[in-house]
């Protein structure tokens, strides 16, 4: 018995040492890859943190038509693009409407919901005709794990309740979630295991869309909510939208054009799948026609 205990203790020590080495390696990888992320934030206010992110400027502010609002991640933000190449700029120029872009790189549905619930849009926006959310596949993973290991400052946490999604107000982040090793294995688990649970993902994503739509109706009763599925792989990502509110309009990019967005000519650069200017030049005209803008 004593021998077994010694073997167990030695193996446990070796495992902890291995995890320490992994933690140190991931720390330096993260520090090199994401220098803008704060490493140790023991107490935070998400609204204050979100307000530090730089938004795209309002486009077409002097146009008189009803405005449009855009939410999403780096795809909608236009990561790597000049302003005149972005979705928001082109949408404004083509429709002659003001466009307010509240998209943030690396973020997703949680951020959009939080911004609407906490009145973080411009109070001067009057009666937008549409709020357009650009959804891409990796936003599914972001509901469970951050985009870059340790960016817990940028992700408000919601959970399913009897009355829909509820925001979990956390002044302090759990100790175990302050380790890079946790996010490393969480991402590995998602890629190889969790990605197969599309029924669970569908239910959660529909809850987000429905809750966002309800917040929109509170703030802008006559505004229509549109979800643009940026689909570079398979139709609707394998998600089931049967429980989504019927007032929400879902448009798949495959319905707008026959082009394959998986082709490199529509990417920002090689091995970077962000849409480039050419992708938006192809998709925007049929989207504008579909929405009668």
Dist. CA 280–CA 120, nearest whole Å: 27
DSSP structural state of residue 58: P
Question: What's the whole-number average pLDDT of the chain?
Answer: 81
d(CA 70, CA 230): 14
How many helices (H) and strands (E) in the chain? 10, 9
pLDDT tens per residue across span 238-292? 788 888 999 999 999 999 998 889 899 999 998 888 999 999 999 999 999 999 9
**pTM for this entry:** 0.81
Contact assessment for residue 186 and residue 226, using Cβ atoms and an 8 Å cutoff: no
Please enumerate in sequence order all residues whose Cβ is within 8 A of that of 55, keeping only pairs 6 or more positions apart, or say none: 101, 102, 103, 104
**Distance between CA 85 and CA 89 in Å, rounded?**
7
Closest CA to 185 of 11, 13, 22, 17: 22
- For 33-67, the pLDDT digits (tens) are 544 443 333 444 566 666 667 789 999 999 999 99
Q: Is the dihedral of CA 256, 201, 266, 151 positive or negative?
A: positive
pLDDT band at 169 (very low <50, low <70, confident <90, very high): low
């Amino acid at each position: 018995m004593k021998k077994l205990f010694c073997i167990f203790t030695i193996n446990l020590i070796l495992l902890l040492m291995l995890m320490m080495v992994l933690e140190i390696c991931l720390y330096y990888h993260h520090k090199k890859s994401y220098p803008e992320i704060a490493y140790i934030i023991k107490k935070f206010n998400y609204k204050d943190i979100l307000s530090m992110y730089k938004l795209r400027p309002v486009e077409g502010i002097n146009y008189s038509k009803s405005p449009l609002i855009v939410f999403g991640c780096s795809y909608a933000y236009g990561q790597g693009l000049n302003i005149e190449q972005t979705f928001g700029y082109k949408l404004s120029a083509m429709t002659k409407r003001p466009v307010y872009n509240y998209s943030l790189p690396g973020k997703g549905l949680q951020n959009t919901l939080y911004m609407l619930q906490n009145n973080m849009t411009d109070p001067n926006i009057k009666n937008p005709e549409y709020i357009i959310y650009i959804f891409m596949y990796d936003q599914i993973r972001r509901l469970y794990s951050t985009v870059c290991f340790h960016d817990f400052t940028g992700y408000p946490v919601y959970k399913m309740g009897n009355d829909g999604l509820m925001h979990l107000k956390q002044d302090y982040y759990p100790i175990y979630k302050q380790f890079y090793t946790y996010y490393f294995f969480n991402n590995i688990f998602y890629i190889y295991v969790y990605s197969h649970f599309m029924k669970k993902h569908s239910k959660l994503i529909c809850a987000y869309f429905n809750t966002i739509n309800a917040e929109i109706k509170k703030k802008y009763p006559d505004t229509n909510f549109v979800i643009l599925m940026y689909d570079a792989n398979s139709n609707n990502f394998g998600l089931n939208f049967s429980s989504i509110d019927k007032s929400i309009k879902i448009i798949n990019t495959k319905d707008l054009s026959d082009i394959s967005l998986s082709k490199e000519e529509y990417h920002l650069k090689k091995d970077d799948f962000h849409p480039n200017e050419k992708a938006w030049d192809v998709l925007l005209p049929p989207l504008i026609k579909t929405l009668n803008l």
